A and B are shown apart, each in its own frame.
Chain A
Amino acid sequence: MSKIELKEIDKFYGKNHVLKNLNLTIDDGDFMTLLGPSGCGKTTTLRVVSGLERPQNGFIYIDGKEIVNAKEAHFAPPSERNLNLVFQSYALWPHMTVFDNVAFGLKIKKTDPAEIKRKVKSALERLQIGEFEKRYPSELSGGQQQRVAIARAIVSEPKLLLLDEPLSNLDAKLRVDMRSELKRLHHETGTTIIYVTHDQVEALTMSTKIALFRTGELVQVSEPLDLYDNPNDLYAADFIGNPSINFVDADAEYTSDGMTVKSPLGTMELPRKYMTENAARTGTGKVVLGIRPEQVILLKEPVTEKNVEAKVYSSMPAGSETLVDVRVGTGTQLTIKEIGSARYKTDEKVYLNISTHRMNVFDKETGKLIKLSVESDIGRSLNPDAPRF
């Protein structure tokens, strides 16, 4: 339960500038996920917060208390920050039993032995590994080791819990289970959590907020669905979403009422009220349409003249959903996601119903978002059976 503020953090490894003037506030009780590809600085940020790394510039405050002031070379040691960390490798001490691993920190703090026993037991029970307390880490499966690592981190009831890609060493099924457990843990303890991952599904499903990184800089800090629906720029749009968002180049003509975009997908009128301040009011320019795979509905026959004719390139049914790659004209390829199983033949002619409300538009030059995605009603009226997004 604490609020963390990072201000103007710079971190260098030798000449390598890893964090560039980072400013980030994590509110009390947040589940903040630091998301980005490997090498983007998210783990470094976590280690700077934990106190394992010292930034060259900047300040960190926890609940208003200054714990890092690089200018004055003040760095509070990790143990004074009232936090705990779960490492990607778990970093369980191989020569200690599960109980001793979890009890270690309490023993250092010279907690009363009976109290230690009670706390460790309760932490182990909470993570459903009570029966393993006498085992050594090497005698546990990966999933169980993971639970021990988490138990060790929460046993001292830290105000801030740091998790560094904790699920990346687990197999796919366990990962899904642990996700829901972690979310539950966050709910029950109310602890502020900073969670590092490169897995966008983890980020989207678990967090209350996501901070998206690119090469040491923050790209966007938003709630998960905001990040998905309205990514700030092309990088964020491309990073979030699986399968990836479809980008289609288009020409735009700006007016005070909005803009008109022309692309192989036809001509679209987009009203001013859905556009951001980044959009011009006059003139023309190059833009990129950002269309999520589920924002397109595939039709066997056209319903309106706005439907775009396309050809099936390949169809990939997966039972619960079907991914269809289609080609419009010669150069434009789109991936479309249809919920449920559907059968399409290769080279079959289909028609695309594209929701202009849901679609994003980005300025090609700056990469910035210029048109927001908003609730649509066209899809429903066209095809009552189609799922709504």
Chain B
Amino acid sequence: MEQKTASYSRGKRIRNQLVSVISNPYNVIVLLAVVLLTYLIVLPLLDMIHTTFTLSQRDLRAIPGAKVGQFTFYYWKRLFASNLSANLLIKPLLNSLLIGFFVSFFSILIGSLLAWLMVRTDLPCKRFFSLAVIVPYMIPSWVKSQAWLALFKTARIGGAQGFLCSLGMDVPDWIAYGPVAIIIVLSLHYYAYAYLLVSAALNSINSELEEMGEIQGAGKRTILSKITFPLVLPAMLSSIILTFSKAIGTFAVINYLGSKVNFVTLSTQLYSNSKSQNTETAFAMAVLMIAIASLSVFINQRLIGSRKSYATIGGKGGRSTLVGLGKQRPLITVILFVFFLVCIILPIGLLVLESLMLQEGNYSLSNLTLYYWVGSGNPNIMEGVPGIFRNKDFINSLLNSLKLTFVTATCGTIIGQILGYICARGRGRFHGALVEQLVFIPYLIPSIAFGGIYLSMFSRAHGIFPSLYGTFALIVLVCVVKNIPFSSRAGTSNMMQISNELEEAASIEGAGFFKRLAKIVFPLSKGGFISGFMLIFISIMKELDLIILVVTPSTTTLPYLAFQYANRNNPQPSDCVAIVMFMLVFLVYALATIFGDADLAKSMGGG
């Protein structure tokens, strides 16, 4: 056969290179993803930082002779080095750190303990407990604080009295309101993260590792502390940063339980500054919160270092021999039942009860009514606002919530799967690492600050986007982008399960990029798609912090409506709304668990 000699021309080389880059849809998608992520995540962040150094019209008179829009340290100075600092910064900052520290501590403690009991011991009724342990995660934290108030409210501060006071108990104020209440409520909420992460890690440990310890003569306690604990330590540290940054960014709970006693944190200060048009100061606080979150991630990575790989070592799991609880078994079981009673049944029960009380704080039978559910509007009650099922505000919010969750979950999951595909296939390459870094950024931005940035950035026409102020689209955008770290992580773990060889086999057969996506990747990723969808659905359905600054009266959602009612001292309709919302979340979770093998834990890690 005739052999052509090897040719070389620079022109051909450049043309071939260009064609191969452009004609590969994967490259185009990566490029598009990077551009969009930069535009929607990096730019807003830079815009925000820039704003904190730009003088606004309002503060013109604070600096004589200055012009609007000029560079200034005014806001940072005001925050750090003025006589306002103590109230504006120091006190809220310390409170935030206090909340963050204790909430992380108790969440990890409770979560890890539960995880160990559920995965590694012969605890009875595991099926029941494994469901019960997830339910608190589905009750939004602000609903829990509402329940807390229903239980502990005192007449001295809250107006009407709570359940315990009505029984004649003297509830001290420090239990009803303030840091203790906040820490307890948040810990009972965030332990679910630690539980999910640690139990996943425990599940992946082969019990032969522990049995080997036993053969060497180690006691149960030694095995636990020398073998099991170090192996799940990375998972525990991950859940610490997750909890810490979430607790620092939380707003609603602190507003519910702290505002009456003037307990402020960075997030509540950020909210009030943002509401009173002090955007620059609000953003400076947001930057501070991002810095704290980044620092905690950095410390976590330094602590874990190369050990992170433990999490996947022995991922086969293998046989698992359970640890006997012995004599303590009945006692521990009872304690767990009581724990879940207090965590699940009590708050829901209290909310239901309160929603049925015509007059708040009056626990007599004659006071029970369905007015707040189905009443037709009595001018003597709540200025004639009818029960929620006859209230067009509620119907409107319900529709908005459903629309928002479905649209966000669908868009978010698709985007997450695409980003996950890029991260999974780009492993160890520059573009993969870049996308992985970019999608992680929203994780560091507290929800309330994130809403604030988008509000200020997209209130005016910006690049390809028209002014989005007050639109449904803005809320969807905020929700989708804020959830990118979670959805793309779900997408990555989903795509990692689809071996690259399955795609290579198809490309050998002549299937192009889109054909491969349609015929191979998508059909194989259905399960993960449902999980990702669920995760976003649940999180958006109960989301308040993120959208609280962005929502306008026509785009109100259920959580926002409940928040409004509660802020106007109308706890009963607020309870009704919260109950409906919780039922929706639970229903969707149940459906997804029954019909698709959705796994919440898989996509929870977040980093």
A residues at B contact (CB < 8 Å): 3, 5, 7, 50-52, 59, 61, 63-66, 69, 71-75, 77-79, 83-85, 87, 89, 91-95, 104-105, 108-109, 152, 156
B4 to chain A, nearest CB (A): 6
Question: Can you pick out 7 interface pairs between chain A and chain B where the beta carbons lie within 8 Å of each other?
Answer: A5-B3, A7-B6, A75-B20, A79-B511, A87-B504, A91-B499, A108-B515
Q: Are A105 and B6 in contact (CB under 8 A)?
A: no
Give Cα A141–Cα B515 distance, bound, in whole angstroms.
Answer: 29
Q: Are B508 and A108 in contact (CB under 8 A)?
A: no
Give Cα A349–Cα B312 distance, bound, in whole angstroms.
Answer: 56
B residues at A contact (CB < 8 Å): 1-4, 6-9, 12-14, 16-17, 20, 499, 501-502, 504-511, 515, 519-520, 523-524
Q: Are A72 and B501 in contact (CB under 8 A)?
A: no
A155 and chain B: residue at smallest CB distance: B509
The 8 closest A-B pairs by CB, nearest first: A105-B509, A79-B510, A91-B501, A73-B16, A91-B505, A64-B1, A73-B17, A72-B12
* Contacting residues, chain A, for B508 (C-beta < 8 A): 50-52, 78-79, 83-85, 105
Other-chain contact of B16, A7, A74, A109 (Cβ < 8 Å): A74
Q: Are B4 and A64 in contact (CB under 8 A)?
A: yes
Give Cα A72–Cα B506 distance, bound, in whole angstroms.
Answer: 26
Q: Are B504 and A91 in contact (CB under 8 A)?
A: yes
B346 to chain A, nearest CB (A): 46
Give Cα A69–Cα B501 distance, bound, in whole angstroms.
Answer: 25
Give Cα A84–Cα B511 distance, bound, in whole angstroms.
Answer: 13
Give Cα A93–Cα B8 distance, bound, in whole angstroms.
Answer: 40
Q: Are B504 and A93 in contact (CB under 8 A)?
A: no
* Contacting residues, chain B, for A50 (C-beta < 8 A): 508
Interface secondary structure of A, over-half rule: mixed
Q: With A64-B2, A108-B511 given, is the CB distance from A85 to B505 under 8 Å?
A: yes
* Contacting residues, chain A, for B524 (C-beta < 8 A): 93-95
Other-chain contact of A72, B1, B13, B511, B523 (Cβ < 8 Å): B13
Q: Are B4 and A93 in contact (CB under 8 A)?
A: no
* Contacting residues, chain B, for A3 (C-beta < 8 A): 1
* Contacting residues, chain A, for B505 (C-beta < 8 A): 85, 87, 91-93, 152
A153 and chain B: residue at smallest CB distance: B508
Q: Are B510 and A69 in contact (CB under 8 A)?
A: no
Q: With A63-B1, A69-B7, A93-B520 given, is the CB distance from A108 to B510 under 8 Å?
A: yes
B140 to chain A, nearest CB (A): 37
Q: Are A108 and B509 in contact (CB under 8 A)?
A: yes
B501 and chain A: residue at smallest CB distance: A91
Give Cα A319–Cα B333 distance, bound, in whole angstroms.
Answer: 62
Give Cα A108–Cα B523 distance, bound, in whole angstroms.
Answer: 17
Q: Are A61 and B4 in contact (CB under 8 A)?
A: yes
Interface secondary structure of B, over-half rule: helix
Q: Are B6 and A59 in contact (CB under 8 A)?
A: yes
A28 and chain B: residue at smallest CB distance: B1
Q: Are A104 and B506 in contact (CB under 8 A)?
A: yes
A7 and chain B: residue at smallest CB distance: B6
Q: Are A105 and B502 in contact (CB under 8 A)?
A: no
B519 to chain A, nearest CB (A): 8
B509 and chain A: residue at smallest CB distance: A105
A272 to chain B, nearest CB (A): 38
Q: Are A71 and B13 in contact (CB under 8 A)?
A: yes
A71 and chain B: residue at smallest CB distance: B8
Q: Are A69 and B6 in contact (CB under 8 A)?
A: yes
A66 and chain B: residue at smallest CB distance: B4
B503 and chain A: residue at smallest CB distance: A91
Other-chain contact of B507, A65, A69, A79, A87 (Cβ < 8 Å): A79
* Contacting residues, chain B, for A79 (C-beta < 8 A): 507-511
Known contacts A66-B6, A73-B13, A87-B504; can you find 20 more A-B pairs with CB under 8 A?
A: A5-B3, A51-B508, A61-B4, A66-B4, A71-B6, A71-B8, A72-B9, A72-B16, A73-B14, A78-B507, A79-B507, A79-B508, A83-B508, A84-B508, A84-B509, A85-B508, A91-B502, A92-B505, A93-B502, A93-B506
* Contacting residues, chain A, for B523 (C-beta < 8 A): 95
A158 and chain B: residue at smallest CB distance: B508
Give Cα A52–Cα B12 distance, bound, in whole angstroms.
Answer: 22
B24 and chain A: residue at smallest CB distance: A77
Give Cα A74–Cα B11 distance, bound, in whole angstroms.
Answer: 12
Give Cα A87–Cα B501 distance, bound, in whole angstroms.
Answer: 8
* Contacting residues, chain B, for A73 (C-beta < 8 A): 12-14, 16-17, 20
B36 to chain A, nearest CB (A): 28
A310 to chain B, nearest CB (A): 44
B8 and chain A: residue at smallest CB distance: A71
Give Cα A71–Cα B510 distance, bound, in whole angstroms.
Answer: 25
* Contacting residues, chain A, for B509 (C-beta < 8 A): 79, 84, 104-105, 108, 152, 156
A88 and chain B: residue at smallest CB distance: B501
Give Cα A69–Cα B507 distance, bound, in whole angstroms.
Answer: 20
B2 and chain A: residue at smallest CB distance: A64
B332 to chain A, nearest CB (A): 40
* Contacting residues, chain B, for A93 (C-beta < 8 A): 502, 505-506, 520, 524
Give Cα A84–Cα B506 distance, bound, in whole angstroms.
Answer: 10
B342 to chain A, nearest CB (A): 45
A318 to chain B, nearest CB (A): 34
* Contacting residues, chain A, for B7 (C-beta < 8 A): 66, 69, 72
* Contacting residues, chain B, for A65 (C-beta < 8 A): 4
